[in-house]
A and B are shown apart, each in its own frame.
Chain A
Amino acid sequence: MSAPVLPPVAVVEADARQGSSPAERAAARRPKRRRLQNGQRPGFLAYGFLTAVILGSVFPLYWSFLIGSGDATTITRQDIVWWPGGNFLDNAAAVLTDGSVNFWRAVGNSILVSTVVAAAVVLFSTLAGFAFAKLRFRGRNGLLVFVIATMAVPTQLGVVPLFIAMSELQLAGTLSAVILPAIVSAFGVFWMTQYLSQALPYELIEAARVDGASMIRTFWSVALPAARPAAAMLALFVFIATWTNFFWPFIVLDRQDPTLPVALSLLQSNYFVDYSVVMAGVILSTIPLLILFAVAGRQLVSGIMQGAVKG
């Protein structure tokens, strides 16, 4: 699309000024700081400290691999074992083929649930965020305040009635019961509203409108592409949150049809003697997110940083 030449509409201009100026000011300030800091690199102490912190982050994972690659006796040895044994594949096979805990099914369920929830949250949040950020309608401010207010209420408060409702709807025990309560997120709406109010110039929307695009077309061809970075970030966080979620799936899911965290909890109650199998399960369930972290860790970091700074 060519550069927007039309002057922004008067009614929305006020909003534009209000929304984007703090971010612009912050952005203008950032390079200055980098310049100032260059030259004075911190000493070994800082690197030593950070190395210790990272070792602390990695060690528990390494430890679980140590146990997971040993056998049932590893854990009972009086001297400490520091190197992995050769039984990881055996233990992993024990986890995967065990009849009482359907681990493969749990992997599939977790992938399905996390993907669907992430996709739905991103779609609904972007839609609502687009409307809140860029469209003018009666009750907009009030509704947005309501969305933000809902973030303050702990979801745990509703767990009992939610379970009753799911039972009434014949959904208890199914994956829908896990997906349904999670497919909208007040935070997601807020996040996309914040992002779009800065990242999407009114001129672009006006240009699309002038070219004859309907609202939904404008959303699809103008807002959605502009929202992509924030949407990817939101998808990442929602995916991880859903993947690691335990409480609600634990309550509502069948023991035969679990998600990964639920499967892990079952492994423990079945195998509490042989920790090496349990730990192999821990490693197996963490591998997918480790891969995700290797691919998108940078985005995760900047997502947290942005969530806290941008605005």
Chain B
Amino acid sequence: MTATADRPRATGTPPTAPPTKRAPSDTTGKTERQIRRIAFSQTLSRWDFKYSPYLYISPFFILFAIVGLFPLLYTAWVSVHEWNLIGGQGDFVGGDNFAFVLQQPQFWIALRNTFSIFLISAVPQVATALLIAAVLDRNLRGKTFWRMGVLLPYIVAPVAVALIFSNMFGDQYGLINNLLGQLGIDPIGWHSEVLPSHLAIATMVNFRWTGYTALILLAAMQAIPRDYYEASMLDGAGVVRQFFSITIPQLRPTLIFVIVTSTIGGLQIFDEPRLYDSAGQGGASGQWMTITIYLYNLGWGQLNFGRAAAVAWLLFLIIVLVGLLNLAITRRIASGDNPQKVLDRASRRAARSAARTARTARTRRDQEVDA
């Protein structure tokens, strides 16, 4: 950089000089005189000012282009070719890979499983997180302790979570079936049947993420103006009434973003179902095989990259579709019963925080690819 070249300027210019003179658009007579006096270092300094921002942002853009953008675009190329892990690129086959995948009953089973696991994890998760957040939002003793306790599962790797829970949900000797047995309930085939296996996997997801979601919702709750609660208290509203009439409506944007991001993450689920049994194929008849497991099996099991890339694109399309659906529903709700005038400032702030929330959550999931 120009650190050394800058130095003469430091001694040569009086420290009280207005820094505006470096902005090229602000050239005044006085500035010109100074530029002439210390021309070279001044020029360097101006270059420094003008071009170094690009230098600072370039690592991100260069690396992103290589490891992010290029693979995204290249997926499209791979998906329309015959492509083998060992042989590499083969003939152009157009939509054949897509057609093949769409004709496989396995794909549809995987799609069903993914949505089923997603729905029975996301819905209870958001509901529970709301409840936890509402309790955490009260004036508790030892706030930090409770918040940390709720967050603890977040540091357990999904793989570890999967191993622990697949043990607890063991068909023969698992803890859950043992407990059920003591209550006189017949053992449930957590690993052999479709819905029970989905429930078990959803439990894993909820174990890890509920506390995290609760903290996000808690943050949004704390941004709700307390005047609302005060006013409602004067009107005689109880805690429950306040929760449904103030908290929930005010949280709507954050809630929606939590739902959208958990959709994106949920539709990509891999770790938990993959580790749910030691074979990792998603069950003997694909009871809990998800789209990403299917993608992995096509690519690294059958060594067919073209088809795997096609599945990746289909998954992406599904995520976009669900995202658009979410958005449409959101718009409808937002333009419907919301008394904009009263909520305006608050809801705008909530929307801002929600947008940020979404990005936090999305990246957390992006970085884990498969959360």
Tell me if B179 counts as interface (CB < 8 A to partner A): yes
The 0/1 profile, CB within 8 Å of A marked 1, for residues 48-70 of chain B is 11101110110111011001111
Number of A-B contacts (CB under 8 A): 400
Tell me whether B163 and A157 are in contact (CB under 8 A): no
Tell me whether B168 and A63 are in contact (CB under 8 A): yes
> Which residues from B are CB-within-8-Å of A309?
219-220, 222-223, 353, 356
A189 to B216, CA, bound (A): 20
Tell me whether B349 and A247 are in contact (CB under 8 A): no
A76 to B268, CA, bound (A): 34
Tell me whether B157 and A36 are in contact (CB under 8 A): no
> Which residues from B are CB-within-8-Å of A9?
19-20, 23
Residues of B9-41 at the interface with A, using a CB-CB cut-off of 8 Å, are 9-11, 13, 15-20, 22-23, 25-26
The 0/1 profile, CB within 8 Å of B marked 1, for residues 180-220 of chain A is 11111111111100100000000000100111111111010
Nearest CB in chain B: distance from A178 CB, A: 11
Say what secondary structure dominates the interface of chain A: helix
Segment at the interface with A among B100-108, B114-122, B313-321, B331-339:
B313-321
Tell me if A111 counts as interface (CB < 8 A to partner B): no
Tell me if B153 counts as interface (CB < 8 A to partner A): yes
Residues of A36-92 at the interface with B, using a CB-CB cut-off of 8 Å, are 36-42, 46-47, 49-50, 53-54, 56-58, 60-61, 63-64, 67, 75-80
Tell me whether B362 and A151 are in contact (CB under 8 A): yes
Kindly name the residue among A32, A152, A161 whose own CB sees the greatest number of chain B CB atoms within 10 A: A161
Tell me whether A289 and B319 are in contact (CB under 8 A): no
Evaluate whether A297 and B148 lie within 8 angstroms (CB atoms) in the complex, with A46-B135, A160-B312, A215-B52 already known.
yes
Kindly name the residue among B148, B292, B300 whose own CB sees the greatest number of chain A CB atoms within 10 A: B148
Interface residues of A, CB < 8 Å — how many?
A: 132
Tell me if A19 counts as interface (CB < 8 A to partner B): no
Evaluate whether A32 and B226 lie within 8 angstroms (CB atoms) in the complex, with A57-B150, A75-B170, A132-B57 already known.
yes
Tell me whether B60 and A214 are in contact (CB under 8 A): no
Tell me whether A151 and B363 are in contact (CB under 8 A): yes
Evaluate whether A161 and B78 lie within 8 angstroms (CB atoms) in the complex, with A154-B264, A301-B151, A310-B356 already known.
yes
A56 to B151, CA, bound (A): 11
Nearest CB in chain B: distance from A299 CB, A: 10
Nearest CB in chain B: distance from A52 CB, A: 10
> Which residues from B are CB-within-8-Å of A116?
none
Q: Report which of A161, A165, A185 forms a contact with B309, defined as CB distance below 8 A.
A: A161
Tell me if A6 counts as interface (CB < 8 A to partner B): yes
> Which residues from B are CB-within-8-Å of A6?
18-19
Tell me whether B56 and A131 are in contact (CB under 8 A): yes
Q: Report which of A163, A185, A191, A247 forms a contact with B369, defined as CB distance below 8 A.
A: A247
Q: Report which of B22, B60, B75 forms a contact with A124, defined as CB distance below 8 A.
A: B60
> Which residues from A are CB-within-8-Å of B159?
244, 246, 261, 264-265
> Which residues from A are CB-within-8-Å of B15?
210-211
A60 to B208, CA, bound (A): 11
Segment at the interface with A among B136-144, B188-196, B240-248:
B136-144
A39 to B157, CA, bound (A): 40
Evaluate whether A311 and B352 lie within 8 angstroms (CB atoms) in the complex, with A131-B53, A161-B74 already known.
yes
Tell me whether A77 and B155 are in contact (CB under 8 A): no
A38 to B226, CA, bound (A): 12
Tell me whether B299 and A160 are in contact (CB under 8 A): yes
Tell me whether B157 and A261 are in contact (CB under 8 A): yes
Chain A residue with the shortest CB-CB distance to B224: A33
Tell me if B161 counts as interface (CB < 8 A to partner A): yes
Tell me if A104 counts as interface (CB < 8 A to partner B): no
Tell me whether B53 and A75 are in contact (CB under 8 A): no
Chain A residue with the shortest CB-CB distance to B217: A308
A251 to B48, CA, bound (A): 43
Tell me if B344 counts as interface (CB < 8 A to partner A): no
A29 to B226, CA, bound (A): 9
Residues of B206-258 at the interface with A, using a CB-CB cut-off of 8 Å, are 207, 211-212, 215-216, 218-220, 222-223, 225-226, 230, 254
Where the two chains meet, the residues of A that have a C-beta atom closer than 8 Å to any C-beta of B are: 6, 9-11, 22, 26, 29-30, 32-33, 36-42, 46-47, 49-50, 53-54, 56-58, 60-61, 63-64, 67, 75-80, 124-125, 127-128, 130-132, 135-137, 140, 143, 147-148, 150-165, 180-191, 194, 206, 209-217, 219, 237-238, 240-248, 251, 260-261, 264-265, 268-269, 272, 275, 278-279, 282, 285-286, 289-290, 292-293, 297-298, 300-301, 304-311
Which 5 residue pairs of A and B lie closest in terms of their CB atoms, listed nearest first? A212-B10, A187-B363, A158-B71, A308-B219, A247-B370
Apart from A135-B53, A214-B52, A293-B148, what 15 extra A-B contacts exist at CB < 8 Å?
A10-B20, A40-B139, A46-B140, A61-B152, A78-B173, A159-B71, A160-B312, A186-B64, A214-B3, A244-B159, A247-B370, A282-B160, A300-B148, A307-B219, A308-B357
A-B contact pairs, 11 of them (CB 8 A): A6-B19, A42-B135, A54-B152, A57-B150, A124-B60, A124-B63, A151-B359, A153-B68, A156-B295, A180-B67, A251-B300
Where the two chains meet, the residues of B that have a C-beta atom closer than 8 Å to any C-beta of A are: 1-3, 5-7, 9-11, 13, 15-20, 22-23, 25-26, 45, 48-50, 52-54, 56-57, 59-61, 63-64, 67-72, 74-75, 77-78, 88, 131-132, 135-136, 138-141, 144, 146-161, 163-165, 167-168, 170, 172-173, 175, 178-179, 207, 211-212, 215-216, 218-220, 222-223, 225-226, 230, 254, 264, 268, 270-271, 274-275, 278-280, 292, 295-296, 299-300, 305, 308-309, 312-313, 315-316, 319, 349, 352-354, 356-357, 359-360, 362-364, 366-370
